[in-house]
Amino acid sequence: MAEPSPSILLRNCCLISPDQLDQLARPVDIAIEDGKIAAIAPHLNYTAKVELNMQGQLVSPPFVESHIHLDSSMTVGDPRWNASGTLFEGIEIWRDRKQSLTLADVKERAIATLKQQAMQGVLYVRTHADVSEQTLTALQGLLEVREAVKDWITVQVVAFPQDGVYGGPQNEALLEEALKLGADAVGGIPHYELTREDGVRSVHRIFELAERYDRLIDIHCDEIDDDQARFLEVMVACAIRSGMGSRVSASHTTAFHSYNNAYAFKLMGFLQRTSINFIANPLINITLQGRADTYPKRRGVTRVKELWQQGHNVSLGHDCVQDPWYSLGTGNMLDVASMAVHVCQMTGTTEIDACYNMVTWNGAKTLHVQDEYGVEVGKPANLVVLDAESRYDAIRRRATVRYVISQGRLIAQTQPPNPQWMVDEVTSPSAQLPGVPV
């Protein structure tokens, strides 16, 4: 019988798994055929159309971006820079910018951002689309993008009422309309509703809509340093009562940082009764929060380490790429994981690995794509090859993503930097610049 001839064969891969030490990963060959993982074994006796020797580099399932706003990405400075650096000034700048949105504008910036992400190994993205903008242009643009890019990246769209479900007379209807148009998830922003009562009401409404339209939930919840912002408890109560648990995500929850421990520990207990997902955005919240503090200045990132220790599914998002809330960013998920290691003080070896898992496997669980996610025989061939020996090494050096394979196709490759030491070892002081005469 002829030996199989897959379209791509990756030899000598260090294939990592979520709960095994990377040092124990045995080198394997991975065969890819018809967009799927066809075989994984220590040695495959195949000849393939494309064969790449990974030389023991890390092979991982792709990065998952579980929280980003693609509608606002790449608008920084337009119409103005965020001078205070706060969430609220960002919302005001975006309110001005969104008046001039067109479908072409949204789609162009979103696709450019997605390409940047995919080239760095992100193949699953959950984006928020502001639906408190009257024409629903952001939402329509992102729904069209979801379709346009589906052959190389999976996009989920959350209907997100940036100005509040009850912040304007039409906002509630717009939110529902967005679900009719096909948003994957329903969102909210209870801490920015006009009153605490409106905030509570908005969370109840979001759960009703999610049940009626059979959608996931992802709420921007308590993204403020106010220790009295207590909408997470409302989400937890709704999740317990509705049984929606793992279909629900609480994004940001930065006030959790500021709660007194007596309250925080009680809430941690209630959380055990449900299985909601948490999404932290350490790059953004380390810069947005603490702005009303002088010193000491709070970090304002949710209790990532403690939630992880209690067994909750925590994933990490970039939140923004060059927009009114965050002028920096490239979409690189290793930057996000690295920031989490620092801000959340997750510097132990298992903690660093956990931060890597938060931008891969945990994100897949949040997005509810875990059935198709993972480098396993029979699953879609979505994977990345990193110029790294381990998850620790990848995060420490923000390693280059050498190859990105999406649905069985090699869609991007990057050469790692190759710096060269130019100083003469003995005489030292200065090397000659190439081309400069002595």
What is the Cα 256 distance to its own chain's centre?
20
Shortest Å distance, C-beta 94 to ligand 17E? 7
* Closest to ligand 17E by CB, 87 or 131: 87
CB 182 within 8 A of CB 122: no
* Closest to ligand 17E by CB, 69 or 391: 69
* Closest to ligand 17E by CB, 98 or 220: 220
Shortest Å distance, C-beta 284 to Fe ion? 7
CB 304 within 8 A of CB 247: no
Query: Which residue reads 């999976």 in tokens?
Result: 154
Query: Which residue reads 């930065």 in tokens?
Result: 254
Q: Of these partners, ligand 17E, Fe ion, none, which one is at the site of residue 130 (CB under 5 to 8 Å by kind)?
A: none
The number of residues that bind Fe ion (CB under 5 A) is 1
Measured CA angle at 251 (ends 362, 290), to 5 deg: 120
Q: Of these partners, ligand 17E, Fe ion, none, which one is at the site of residue 98 (CB under 5 to 8 Å by kind)?
A: none
Choose one: 256-264, 319-327, 394-402, 408-416; the region binding Fe ion (CB under 5 A): 319-327
Shortest Å distance, C-beta 69 to ligand 17E? 5
Shortest Å distance, C-beta 369 to ligand 17E? 23
What residue ranges bind ligand 17E (CB under 6 A)? 69, 87, 162, 189, 220, 223, 284, 319-320, 325
* Cα torsion through 266, 348, 123, 243, rounded to 10: -20
Query: Is 105 buried (19+), middle (13-18) or exposed (0-12) by CB count in 10 A?
Result: middle
Measured CA angle at 257 (ends 252, 259), to 5 deg: 120
Catalytic pick among 33, 89, 133, 223: 223
* Closest to ligand 17E by CB, 193 or 223: 223
Shortest Å distance, C-beta 220 to ligand 17E? 5
Choose one: 89-97, 146-154, 315-323, 335-343; the region binding Fe ion (CB under 5 A): 315-323
Dist CA 133 CA 139 (whole Å): 9
Q: Which residue's Cβ lies closest to Fe ion?
A: 319
Which residues of 1-113 form beta strands (DSSP E)? 8-15, 27-33, 36-41, 50-53, 58-60, 63-68
Shortest Å distance, C-beta 181 to ligand 17E? 21
Query: What's the DSSP call for residue 219?
Result: E
Q: Of these partners, ligand 17E, Fe ion, none, which one is at the site of residue 332 (CB under 5 to 8 Å by kind)?
A: none
Query: Is 75 buried (19+), middle (13-18) or exposed (0-12) by CB count in 10 A?
Result: buried
Q: Of these partners, Fe ion, ligand 17E, none, which one is at the site of residue 87 (CB under 5 to 8 Å by kind)?
A: ligand 17E
Q: Which residue's Cβ lies closest to ligand 17E?
A: 325
What is the Cα 234 distance to its own chain's centre?
24
* Closest to ligand 17E by CB, 132 or 390: 132
* Cα torsion through 287, 290, 291, 294, rounded to 10: -130
* Closest to ligand 17E by CB, 162 or 360: 162
Residue 223 is a catalytic residue = yes
Q: Of these partners, Fe ion, ligand 17E, none, which one is at the site of residue 256 (CB under 5 to 8 Å by kind)?
A: none
Residues interacting with Fe ion, by CB under 5 A? 319
For the annotated catalytic residues, the residue numbers are 223
